Structure 1
Amino acid sequence: MKSDVEELMPRLLPVDCGEGTEDVDLSGPPRNPQEYLRQVQLEASLCPDVVVAQIDPKKLKKTQTVNASPKLTDEEGWKRFCLGETTYLGSSSSRLTEADQEPALDYSKVGFPPLLSIVSRFNQSTVLMLLDILISWFEEREFVPQLGRWLYALLACLEKPLLPEAHSSIRQLARRCAQLRSTMNSQEDENLPALNLLICLVARYFEQVDLADQPE
């Protein structure tokens, strides 16, 4: 008797299995195209119509992080949101608990990425405000990947011609990147490409040419 799927979807490659279908050897290679198709059909007939996945509930996080942006005036909240509590509070990675080591990311600890669904809601005043908050944090601390991702995303959202107050902010950012870059002992430093990119964006795209790297 044909299954419901077979009734709705006729076979594209009909093959007459014949009476010897039970004797088809699934372990060995097929000797001809007809035998190959018989093997495929027999394997398909042995598969259950419905498969239920066995999920270990212990591996699921008990709480899910909600993507709720801080209020515009909450500077400390934005630092936590963008950078994560681990970076914001200067916590050591050795202090992570067993829950922190689960495969599912806890964005409250590692920081929310600058998703398009987030930054597309920002107007120019909000973009500049958040740039100022993160640049101010960067002035007193080292560069971290979360910071680089957000700075790049915010610069990408910054419209030209720039608002007057934006010039000072992005120039401050480029100078801080150059200052930190000058302290690096190796050209293989993992943060070097990100710092170079931020300097280049400010100097070339936003036309602050006096801050551009000069050719040797």
Structure 2
Amino acid sequence: MRWVGLAGLKTMAWIPVESAVEELMPRLLPVEPCDLTESFDPSVPPRTPQEYLRRVQIEAAQCPDVVVAQIDPKKLKRKQSVNVSLSGCQPAPEGYSPTLQWQQQQVAQFSSVRQSVIRHRSHWKSQQLDSNVTMPKSEDEEGWKKFCLGERLCAEGAVGPATSEGPGIDYVQIGFPPLLSIVSRMNQATVTSVLEYLSNWFGERDFTPELGRWLYALLACLEKPLLPEAHSLIRQLARRCSEVRLLVDSKDDERVPALNLLICLVSRDSEEIEKEEQAAAEKAVTKEDFQGEWTAPALEFTAST
């Protein structure tokens, strides 16, 4: 039993089939074999109900059981007329939005950083970590939050700048920076997981320089094509950045260019930007206003006032 059609019409007709599965299905409209005259011509319009049903049977028998559509993605791409926006992103307050030139510079610089990560990943992965660096396991959410942001920032009620009573830097308290020797050891599953952990933390707290450095580094480590979960995470990140930007009292706040940068990188990380990445990576972009500076062995993320 199947739907079959003729000249824009559809009907249910009994059609003998060899499939044992279809033979077990109940017949909605049993049709006995038609006793037609020898003058029956299936190429002319039917004159009786029996001739019509017979034509339906003949037409159905000629249809393949499985049909595969041959789709040319290039043709669909040329006809694409809808651009997907960052749904849920809050518009920038007046005076908070960066210029188009600034956005283009940041995207070009970020593309260069991403290409550098890809080219030098093997080298930095082979470098030995310091004795005080112990990377958490991929599934250890709390461990990664403390590793990236520091135990002090992750502690409840921690406010104000970090202080050090003794000599040297206590990275356990202030968090480890996203050194190339660290991020190069993270596979794509770990990069996506840590990005999710930090996005969850950011969803309930304010933006900090420590968080910004790691978010920039993780975005640079994401490989194309992005996994569906990575797409969802970076869109969620952009929405949260736009929400925090609304709460900033002054456009001169150092958080504004940092938040704008993350929103810019996510919103403009489209197919058009992907085509320009290789060319942009070969160009030296003058650092201007706020930028994510690329220095070996550390990936710096700073906001100018």
Q: TM-score, normalised by structure 2?
A: 0.44
Secondary structure in structure 2 of the residue aligned to 1:114: coil
Q: Indicate whether 1:82 and 2:148 are aligned.
A: yes
Paired AA for residue 219 in structure 2 = L
Pairs aligned (count):
143
1:159 to 199, 223, 231: 223
The correspondence of residues 50-129 of structure 1 with structure 2, limited to 5 A, is 66-89=132-155, 90-93=157-160, 100-129=164-193
SS of the residue corresponding to residue 137 of structure 2 reads coil
Q: Which structure is richer in relative contact order (CA contacts within 8 A, separation 6 or more)? A: 2
Q: List gaps (5 residues or longer) in structure 2.
A: 1-129, 274-305
Deviations 1:2-23 (A, max 9, x none): xxxxxxxxxxxxxxxxxxxxxx
- 1:212 alignment partner in structure 2: none
CA contact (8 A) 1:84 1:111 kept: yes
Whether contact under 8 Å (1:202, 1:208) holds in the other structure is: no
SS at match of 1:71: coil
Structure showing greater radius of gyration is 2
Deviation (angstroms), 1:123: 1.1
Over 6 Å off, 4+ runs: none
Name the amino acid aligned to 2:209. Answer: P
Structure 1 residues 95 and 205: CA distance shift in structure 2, 3 A = closer
Q: Distance in 1 between matches of 2:131 and 2:261?
A: 31
Counterparts of 2:229 and 2:271, CA distance in 1: 15
Q: Aligned with 2:215: secondary structure?
A: helix
Q: TM (normalized to structure 1)?
A: 0.62
Give how far 1:92 is off. Answer: 3.9
Q: CA deviation at 1:161?
A: 1.2
Flag the 1:134–1:207 CA change in 2: closer, same or farther, 3 A.
farther
Identity %: 60
Give the equivalent residue in structure 2 for 1:143: 207
8 Å CA contact retained: 1:83, 1:146? yes
Distance change in 2, residues 1:158/1:135 (3 Å): same
1:118 Cα deviation from its structure 2 partner:
0.4
Letter in 2 for 1:91: A
- Of 195, 203, 208 in structure 1, the residue corresponding to residue 259 of structure 2 is 195
With 66-75 and 84-93 compared, the bigger mean Cα shift is at 84-93
Unaligned residue ranges in structure 1 (runs of 5+)? 1-63, 210-216
